[in-house]
A = this chain, B = another copy of it.
Amino acid sequence: MTENIRINNPNVKYTDTHIEAQYCYHTSAVRRDGDTLTVTPSVSELEFRTERRVPRLGVMLVGWGGNNGTTVTAAVLANRLGLTWRTKTGEQKANYYGSLFQSSTVCLGPGPDGKEVNIPFRDLLPMVHPNDIVFDGWDISSMDLGSAMERAEVLDWSLQEKLRPHMSCLRPRASIYIPEFIAANQVGRADNILKGTMAEQVEQIRADIQDFRHSSGVEKVIVLWTANTERFCDLTAGVNDTAKNLLAAIQSGGEVSPSTLFAVASILEGCAYINGSPQNTFVPGAIELAVERNVFIAGDDFKSGQTKIKSVLVDFLISAGIKPTSIVSYNHLGNNDGMNLSAPQQFRSKEISKSNVVDDMVNSNPILYRKGEKPDHCVVIKYVPYVGDSKRAMDEYTSEIMMGGTNTIAMHNTCEDSLLASPIILDLVLLTELCQRVCVRPQGSETFQSFHSVLAILSFMCKAPLVPPGAPLVNAYFRQRACIENIMRACLGLPPQNHMHLEHKLQRGFLPRHDNRIYDNVATKMVLSTGYHASQQNGVCAHSIIIFSID
């Protein structure tokens, strides 16, 4: 299903090339005077302009031969080819389940029958379809993608058999390997690595991007790191604190991680760069370079499993006035990610990335938590080869409820790590590509501006979101999702979702029958009959309906 959306409003114009929307953006400023908080609401008028033409998109993955790289490539191929395969429970079709844009929906409003109309998220604005993405990439292992898919042990065997002819011809380009940044146990895979000075290797990556762009005919390239977790890089003045120093350090061979080298090469090529692992790729110099060059960067670390649920559950508890006091998360996994994380320095990167996920929710509630107070929070990751890509996450949430009571939630979560991460990779590149086609002109300004180089709207897909200086860090899942939805709605001149349903909550309906609304008469009557005098069907709730059918 694909929906064409047309906004029927004088504030929204469709030109041949753009959707232009006038938008009122509401904010509030708060000031405390003694025990009184003064809230000053204000409105900024903004013009959103979205390019309608969707380009041919190429995505280059660092770590293309890994579990995520092979799985996302295979999934796109299988969907593009419309593959089906037999499993013991029946025929399975290729799909994009777990993708925000491809498999979740947003509500546009009520239809003529009064029911909410929900459309695929991807149809809100013109977006690249994942089937049309052209993949390429690098890997320190030279294995072709057909064999690498087999090594990953993620996809059903019968699907692998159908995909192998399409995958085997794909070979990763040689990658940058600096042994000290990843676990020593990765050395066995490193048979496809660039030689030469650091500067020469960056030049080769840039040449690879240019080569891919020209040979594949794509108009736009986005580079995404889905390779090994690196150890954290020391932040050192004179080395990585400014763009200039960072570029100089690359020339002189200072401490620069492979992921930062890829980021620098991408930025210099004008390609957005997304970091799907926890390490601090985006040292200050890399961020400055991106801002100077007006290139998008985003990260860090895919939010796919345990952390994603944590950013739901803890938000739920605190927003319900319940106080989480202890959060303990055990993980075990047996894929190459798990093997790499079994080294202390790499685990440390992951631990840091996972540790701050509840901070925004805790800080938002000074009733439950006094200043500086936090729940105990402990994360353990163990490498257990047998379970392979089928990661186990075991969490215990202990919370304080009323009058000293205790609520204990124990959770055991099993799933294929790479099947959760792959749709998130797609969401990241698709949203980045869309953001490159959106610009905003505040009232009174002559010129349109783009999003900030640090693309914080991608927070939803990241465990440790990178945001511009001074911007609030939001980890709460539903707030992050609302942010994406409401910004995309703004591009169509639609106000934020308010979830109020006020037209159904008063004694009498108040929506106008005809003017400015497109309801047909039948439906309008229904809406307006929500009135003072109850009919037999009044107060319909789910169980009443059931009982009516008995009557």
Encoded as 1 (CB less than 8 Å from any B CB) or 0, chain A from 19 to 49 comes to: 0000001111111100111111110101000
Q: Name the B residues within 8 Å of A449 (CB-CB).
A: 506-508
Q: Contacts A405-B419, A543-B352 hold; do A118 and B366 have CB atoms under 8 A apart?
A: yes
A502 at the interface (CB under 8 A from B): yes
Assess the B321–A98 pair: CB atoms within 8 A.
yes
Assess the A543–B505 pair: CB atoms within 8 A.
no
Assess the B37–A291 pair: CB atoms within 8 A.
no
Assess the A291–B532 pair: CB atoms within 8 A.
yes
Q: Name the B residues within 8 Å of A527 (CB-CB).
A: 470
Residue of B nearest to A494 (CB): B41
A17 at the interface (CB under 8 A from B): no
Contact sample, A vs B, 30 pairs, CB 8 Å cutoff = A6-B37, A6-B39, A7-B41, A8-B39, A32-B111, A40-B516, A44-B511, A95-B402, A103-B322, A104-B367, A235-B544, A242-B536, A278-B543, A282-B544, A288-B538, A309-B316, A356-B542, A356-B543, A406-B415, A409-B411, A409-B412, A450-B506, A452-B505, A464-B541, A466-B539, A469-B539, A482-B498, A486-B500, A487-B505, A490-B502
Q: Does more than half of chain A's interface fall in helix, strand or loop, or is it mixed?
A: mixed
Residue of B nearest to A32 (CB): B111
Assess the B541–A235 pair: CB atoms within 8 A.
no
Assess the A470–B530 pair: CB atoms within 8 A.
yes
A205 at the interface (CB under 8 A from B): no
Q: How many residues of A contact B (CB 8 A)?
A: 199
CA distance A74 to B368 in the complex (A): 21
Residue of B nearest to A443 (CB): B510
A472 at the interface (CB under 8 A from B): yes
Residue of B nearest to A396 (CB): B412
Stretch in contact with the other chain, from A137-145, A181-189, A473-481: A473-481
A75 at the interface (CB under 8 A from B): yes
